[in-house]
Amino acid sequence: MLAGMDLVSVPQAMISRPLVAATVAGALLGDVNAGLRVGAVLELFALDVLPVGAVRYPDYGPASVGAAAIAAGAPWELSLGVAVGVGLLLAMAGGWSLRVLRRINARSVQRHGAALRSGEPRVIRRLHYAGLARDAGRSLLLAALAVGVAGLTIRWARFDRETAVALTIAAVGAGAASALGGALRGAGAGSRQRWLAVGGAAGTAIGVLVWGFR
Amino acid sequence: MNGRGRALLRLLSVQGSWNYERMQGIGMGYAAEPLLDDLRTIDPVRHAEAVVRSAEFFNANPYLAGLALGAAARAEHDAVPGEQVARLRTALAGPLGALGDGLFWAGVLPATAGLALAAVALGGGWWAVLAFLVVFNAVRLFTTWWGLRTGLEAGMRVGSAISASVVPKAATRSGAAAALAVGLATPIVSAWMLHPFGFRGVASAMLLAAAGMVLARWSGARFTAPRFGLLALGATLLLRLVMA
């Protein structure tokens, strides 16, 4: 529930970032490495759209918990692609639920328009607590959905080894494209593009040095 | 706890009632309550008017919202005419949104998350995740505290206080750090994940990544990351089924 509420409501402390939520979920399920790997790939996707103002963005918190639950205890090479796919679907569902919540909050504010004009702090407090309670409910439902979908996926989604590996490779490639695409958009045409290129070159060199000769 | 401390705590949930009618307005009114309490005994009419104003439409970056909150509260205590206080809030919303989004969402967050990703891939494990949380939240909490304090001290002159502060420069520099960190992290994480799959695995993923970036450039913001990810996974699954 905290992973869901953290995105917008409280405390916006980045507990809902995939890298954090999936790692914690993995640790709780006894497989922190699965959580780290799923979290790292979903984090690449999450770097594409950042929670700016009124922008519509996916809710990766509960989704990362569900994805980590799918990967925990299984060989990561075979489970990562499926886990990321389910995580992305859940993240989109979470984003949709956030828009519904905001519309419900707006209707509640409209209904209390006259009371708000009275200048009584109690009215504001009540509206705020109601908004928080609704988001808590939304997050709880999303978390339950994530756990349920994870359970069904573990039970029913079975692929041969080659297909499972292909899905994992596709998930990593798509994640890399998302992170770099977002960074390119954010970099604009100025010096940030140069910094991005420098980082990319350094990262590639490190990647080749560390894993290229194994 | 004094009013300032309570307002600071309440700022942590400033978006708790975010809605399409007043956006952060209700959350700002909630956070303003402890700062306006004193007015109730001094001037009850002014207090009621100030409470109404505090919950009007507002939207800015949540971590810099304290600047507007503090400045408006100080102006209410200084008996600045109500229309001027309302204009101050309106005038601050846009710049605080742009500045805060540039500093945090396009700067500090991708920079720290990128470094954490690279550290995880290089064997940092969950310590890297913990370090990310600690660093990000230290910057965020300090900024929120600084914003509220500066707003309360500066009142109507908060615009000059922001210009004179380190925030505008930090927003520019953190963007460059974010580009560097995300550029660094992406190939490191990809290499960490893909090295067991050999050259074919790396080449397939790179091809897909290139296709995704072309697609993102062509379609703009419409084609979101989750949609692209699901499309890539769906196409892979379809291809495997056809080949089987």
- Average pLDDT of chain B is 91
CA distances from A147 to A19, A70, A143, B198 (A): 18, 9, 6, 33
Average pLDDT over residues A65-79: 94
* Cβ contacts of A212 on chain B, cutoff 8 Å: 191, 195
- How many Å apart are CA A2 and CA A185, to the nearest integer? 30
* Pair A65, A146: CB distance under 8 Å: yes
Instruction: State the nearest Cα–Cα gap between B169 and chain A, in angstroms.
Output: 14
The minimum CA-CA distance between A148 and chain B, rounded to whole Å, is 20
Q: Which pLDDT value is given to residue B8? A: 94
Distance CA B27, CA A178 (A): 33
Neighbours of B127 (CB within 10 A): 12
Backbone angles phi, psi at B64, to 5 degrees: -105, 0
What percent of chain B has a predicted confidence (pLDDT) above 70? Answer: 98
At A190, the amino acid letter reads: G
Interatomic CA distance for residues B201 and A164, integer angstroms: 13
Contact A58, A95 (CB under 8 A): yes
Question: How far is Cα B174 from Cα B29, in angstroms, rounded to an integer?
Answer: 31
Show residues of chain B in contact with A41, CB under 8 Å: 189, 193
Q: Is the pLDDT of residue B100 over 70?
A: yes
* Whether the predicted pLDDT of A108 surpasses 90: yes
Domain membership of residue B227 as a residue range:
3-243
Q: What are the tens digits of pLDDT across the range A169-178?
A: 999 999 999 8
Task: Give the pLDDT of residue B172.
Answer: 85
pLDDT of residue A157 exceeding 90, the answer is no
| Per-residue pLDDT tens over the stretch B21-70 | 899 999 999 999 999 998 988 889 999 999 999 999 999 999 999 999 99
Residues B156, B210: Cα–Cα separation, whole Å: 50
Cβ separation A169–B26 shorter than 8 A: no
Q: How many domains does chain B contain in total?
A: 1
pLDDT tier, A80 (very low <50, low <70, confident <90, very high otherwise) = very high
Quote the pLDDT of residue A189.
67
What is the pLDDT confidence band of residue A192, given thresholds at 50, 70 and 90?
confident
| Span B73-78, average pLDDT | 93
pLDDT at A213: 61
- How confident is the model at residue A91, as a pLDDT? 95
Cα gap A198→B177, rounded to integer Å: 11
Whether the predicted pLDDT of A87 surpasses 90: yes
Contacts of B83 (CB under 8 A, 6+ apart): none
Task: Give contacts of B 29-88 with A, CB under 8 A.
Answer: 29-30, 33, 36, 47-52, 54-55, 59, 61-63
Counting every residue, how long is chain B? 244
- Which of B183, B211, B233 is facing A196, going by the closest CB pair? B183
For tokens 């893909």, name the residue.
Answer: B194
Q: For chain A, how many residues are written?
A: 214
Distances (CA, A) of A168 to A80, B55, B209: 5, 48, 13
Best of A24, A45, A49, A88 to disrupt the B interface (most B CBs within 10 Å) is A88
Distance in Å, alpha carbon of B154 to nearest chain A alpha carbon? 25
**Domain residue spans of chain A:** 2-188
| Closest to A143 in 3D by CA, of A81, A71, A61 | A61
Q: Helix A121-156 crosses helix A60-71 at what angle (to 10 degrees)?
A: 20
Query: What's the pLDDT at A214?
Result: 61
Task: Please indicate whether residue A27 or residue A4 has the higher confidence score (pLDDT).
Answer: A27
DSSP category for residue B220? G
Specify the pLDDT at position A50: 59
| Selected residues 151-190 of chain A with any CB under 8 Å from a CB in chain B | 159-160, 162-163, 165-187
pLDDT tens string B166-198: 989 998 889 899 999 999 999 999 999 999 998
Residues 126-165 of B with CB under 8 A from A: 126, 129, 132-133, 136-137, 140
Contact A13 B121 (CB under 8 A): no
**Rounded to whole angstroms, how far apart are CA atoms B23 and B73?**
19
What integer pLDDT is reported at residue B212 of this predicted model? 82
- Do the chains contact at A46 and B196, CB–CB below 8 Å? no
Q: Which amino acid is at B167?
A: V
Please give the span between the terminal C-alpha atoms of chain A, in angstroms, as a whole number. 41
ipTM: 0.92
Q: What is the mean pLDDT of residues A187-208?
A: 89
Please tell me if residue A65 touches chain B, with a CB cutoff of 8 Å: no
Q: Is the alpha carbon torsion for A142, A144, A148, A154 positive or negative? A: positive
Is pLDDT of A66 > 90?
Answer: yes
Q: Terminus-to-terminus CA distance in chain B, angstroms?
A: 68
Give the number of beta-carbon pairs within 8 Å between A and B. Answer: 356
Answer whether B209 sits within 8 Å of A183, measured CB to CB: no
